[in-house]
A = this chain, B = another copy of it.
């Protein structure tokens, strides 16, 4: 009864099928037929031209995107709790050759335009200061919350007004779209680059880096190779991405995970640290309560001194979820 991480979940059967189907000989790197289909598949999904490149991790997708959007002497504005700040061992600093992350606050790990305006207003524009060139938001956020389309529109306008490119870290983008029940393009807002997550959602080892400015794609293709991320049997990564899109498997999986999280949230509404809008549930729990739950066989991470994080995955079993909901309600 593991609620530790959606990274721990298995690979979806339809992804396995696609992997096996990709196992004929084909051209190496991204010259195979499957990789060549990605741009069109994602352009159809988002209703606008784009380039879509497979990479093996969300960190790689994010860092490659940011490096395409800012200069080494530039900066990316992000939330203090952003994955790119907290959990990537400085990958953005490596890929951008030293650009800064500038941190803003915001409830539930989300950024409001006012925070961007305030930060930009505090920076004197001269050669001594680092000047931000991009805004990065996470959809769904690190607190399991979701930006509404109109919020993204406002953030995008704010970014544009300040000369900032917009990056969306979509490690759990599927969960956001499943929550919003809107077209994917609206859930991405006016993004210039989107890290479209699949691994937490049933893939094995492939994320899509979607570049809505195709002019960036050539640059990123070089940088992907240079970062050791151009795998020689790339067809297996492309196969995973296409399987996720096929028949909207990505949305089906995410909806399942979201529903499980909602069930957990309903069990203990007064204890929620953040609204539950995706597949993460952050709950106020004392150490004793955590111990009691673990004694019952539930796996999860502590979240600070008096909290816990439960993550539901595409394969969450009803019985496990119901059991945890009961255990939470009984606290």
Contact = CB atoms under 8 A, between A and B. Distances in A.
Question: How many monomers of this protein are in the complex?
Answer: 4
B89 A72 contact: no
A98 interface: yes
Interface stretch (A17-25, A106-114, A253-261, A322-330): A17-25
Contacts of A205: 56, 205, 231, 233, 236-237
Contact of A127 (B5, B89, B96): B89
B56 A27 contact: no
Max chain B Cβ within 10 angstroms of own Cβ: one of A23, A24, A232:
A232
Contact of A73 (B4, B28, B226): B226
A274 interface: no
Interface in A203-260: 204-205, 219, 221-233, 236-237
A60 interface: yes
A232 B83 CA distance: 14
A199 B116 CA distance: 36
Contact of A16 (B9, B20, B29, B228): B20
A165 interface: no
A76 to B, nearest CB: 12
Contact of A7 (B7, B24, B28): B28
Contacts of A26: 8
A101 B85 CA distance: 12
A55 interface: yes
Interface residues of A, number: 70
**Residue in A4, A90, A219 with the greatest tally of chain B CB atoms within 10 Å:** A90
Given A204-B236, A231-B57, A130 B89 contact: yes
A36 to B, nearest CB: 14
Given A23-B11, A27-B8, A130 B228 contact: no
A2 interface: yes
A39 interface: no
A9 B229 CA distance: 19
Contacts of A72: 90, 93-94, 97, 226
A96 B98 contact: yes
B129 A89 contact: yes
Contacts of A61: 228
B11 A73 contact: no
Contact of A25 (B8, B24, B60, B232): B8
A318 B94 CA distance: 47
Nearest to A23: B10
Given A26-B8, A129-B89, A232-B7, A94 B204 contact: no
Given A7-B233, A225-B59, A230-B57, A2 B20 contact: no
A91 interface: yes
17 contacts: A7-B28, A57-B228, A57-B229, A59-B230, A61-B228, A63-B228, A71-B219, A72-B90, A86-B129, A88-B226, A89-B222, A127-B221, A127-B224, A199-B231, A200-B232, A204-B233, A204-B236
Given A56-B56, A204-B236, 9 more contacts: A7-B233, A60-B229, A61-B228, A64-B228, A89-B130, A89-B225, A91-B225, A93-B93, A97-B98
